[in-house]
Amino acid sequence: MSQPGVGGVSYSENMSGNTRRSSWSESSTNHIKADVIILGCSLPGFVTAHKLKKKFGDTMDIVVLDLTGKEVGGSKCNVAFVDEDEEKDKENAYKNTAQKVLDTVGRRYITVYAKEFKIPLPEAIMTPDKVKSPLNKLFEYSTGGTVDCTQDFHDFDYLNIFESFELNRYQTLLDQSMRNLFQSNSIDNVSERKQMMYFDQTTMEKHICNELIFSNSKDIMRNMVRLVCGAPANVVSVLFYLYQCYRTSSTRNHLDGDNIKMREKLLGHCRKRIANKLQKSLANITMPAKSISKISTYSNEQVILKTLKGDQNYVCNLLAMAIKPDELRNIEVEARLLYNNEIAITSEMKKGKSKKFLIQYKESFWKRFGYSGDILSVRGPILWATERPDLSLTGSLEKYAALIGFLRVKENDEDDSKEAVIKQLVRLFGEDAATPVSYRETEIADVYIPRCGDFIGLRLLTGKTKPSFLEWGALDVFADGDLAAALEAGHTTYLHLMRCLRPQAQTYEDVSIADWPTMFNDNPFKIWFAQVTLKRSVSLMFYTAAAYIGMRLIQNYMRK
């Protein structure tokens, strides 16, 4: 007889209690069947399962396989959350949240899921421009010298005229390139395809060195790449970085502006809460699973997941891969389910890593000197910092003032940076910074970085709209580095699976959320301005001077 299992999934047993021999196995094994199996308890997998369960209920057998057995825990080094009881009394905090202006894809996905689970969204994360301080920011050169910054960091008014010119031009060039490559649905022009291939195979380090002259300009861009991607510029491709810029609508939304991704990664206010809510909603369809050793197909109809010991197998029509790329290395996947070049793409991805710090003081002494607490440094160890914002919706005040930000990450560096951080703050603000109340730093598992030349292949793998057996859209390449991208990946995977299983069930609401905001191109003068670099200008002057001198020599020779 058949006994009910997780979420309506059945375990096959005979009348004596022994497991019945399955039609696809030669040995007696337990097996669990489902329409869809989500492999892995990652945030994209949670979103996929939640959307399917909410849409189809008991009419579709859905199972989430938990390979770790760990629950999503509380966040570390983050601002404390309000209590659930207090949160329920704050209806106005998230009422009509989805009606706010949604001009970036990051803001869109976070607001939709926060509204669904009644999670308050602080302005300090979602609309940082509204809580901007009128006080000065501080920029630190590699020599230790400092300059006051009266505007946003991305305006570069703290640099000399030549450095500011080339960085502003470079930002415009990147913005125009990312619009040309990502805003259109397809790249039809041969030159555009060649440009995309070039950007995919070129590192940001090489591109920065080719486009910029001054060391300060290069160092600022290297730090920006490190902050955005969690990896140095020599391993990040230009195309991958442009895609991160596209997700935030502009290259100027990293250091300032609508830097939702960086602030959420730093403060962690929404991620843990959304993950916890999703995990609780899926408790009745989530089951602990033993290590998977092999994934194969049977009769071109079903996917079979075999465990390491072979005493438990899982069978489904569609399998959504929601594990991390490095977890895939321990699983043998049948050749027709995953080609060798696709294996190479996932296995060569590099783990991004960021490090954040939180330092508390009895008072915000930096305000006495006219500073907001915002720091941008090319010297380090602090790369970017800000005063810890008030995220509480109860009106309570923090006991201590605090600075929070990102530190420079060195390879194989496990040492605490407390002394170096305090030394830097003393250098910036004086002796008041020498006696903090507390200090804490935490590593962040940032996004996975595809090898140069692999980003196009990765997008093709995860973007297949009609998977035959395996759906890769929920592959967890985001870790803790990009909340909005993880939510989007889960929602996109849900759309892919629904198109395969029940295409007639699609609604406008499901599809419309996946539409990206439209960004308008700059005017022709700005586009032309972006092509003008100091390096090209100097080269043009050199060749012009050489041509003039050559012409004069020829004229003198002809006269003689």
Taking the whole predicted model, whether its pTM rises above 0.85 is answered as: no
Residue 72 · residue 275 · CB < 8 Å: yes
pLDDT, position 19: 31
Instruction: Flag the least confident range among 74-78, 463-467, 499-503.
Output: 74-78
Overall average pLDDT of the 364-373 stretch:
93
- The answer, yes or no, to whether residue 527 has pLDDT greater than 60, is no
Give the tens place of pLDDT for each residue, 59-76.
Answer: 889 999 998 755 544 444
CA distance 532 to 169: 8
Structure tokens, 4: 């009910």
Q: Is the preceding peptide bond at 381 cis, omega within 30 degrees of 0? A: yes
How many CA within 13 A on the CB side of residue 227? Answer: 31
- Per-residue confidence (pLDDT) for residue 502, from 0 to 100: 84
Q: How many CB atoms lie within 10 A of CB 64?
A: 28
- DSSP symbols for 299-313: TTTEEEEEESSSSEE
More confident residue, 8 or 393: 393
Read off the pLDDT band of 101 (50, 70, 90). Answer: very low
Residue 334 burial by Cβ neighbours in a 10 Å radius (0-12, 13-18, 19+) = middle
Check pLDDT > 60 for residue 186: no
In the chain, the domains with their CATH numbers are 2-73+271-348+451-512 (3.50.50.60), 84-133+351-449 (3.90.660), 162-255+522-560 (1.10.405.10)
Q: What is the dihedral of CA 37, 40, 42, 43, to 10 degrees?
A: 0
SS3 content of the chain, % helix, strand, coil (to 5): 45, 20, 35
Mean pLDDT, to the nearest integer, of 171-194? Answer: 79
pLDDT value for 18: 35
User: Average pLDDT of the chain?
Assistant: 81
Q: 551 falls in which pLDDT band (50, 70, 90)? A: confident
Q: Which residue has the higher pLDDT, 525 or 412?
A: 412
Quick check: 105 pLDDT over 80? Answer: no
Interval 426-445: pLDDT, tens: 999 999 999 999 999 999 99
CA–CA dist 345, 343 (Å, integer): 5
Average pLDDT over residues 347-374: 93
**Is pLDDT at 533 greater than 80 in this prediction?**
no
Is residue 14 predicted with pLDDT exceeding 50?
no
Q: What is the pLDDT of residues 111-162, one digit of tens each?
A: 888 888 888 888 888 888 888 888 999 999 999 899 999 888 999 999 999 9
The amino acid at residue 128 is: P
Express as a percent the part of the chain with pLDDT over 90.
Answer: 42
Rounded to an integer, what distance in angstroms lies between the CA atom of residue 118 and that of residue 188? 43
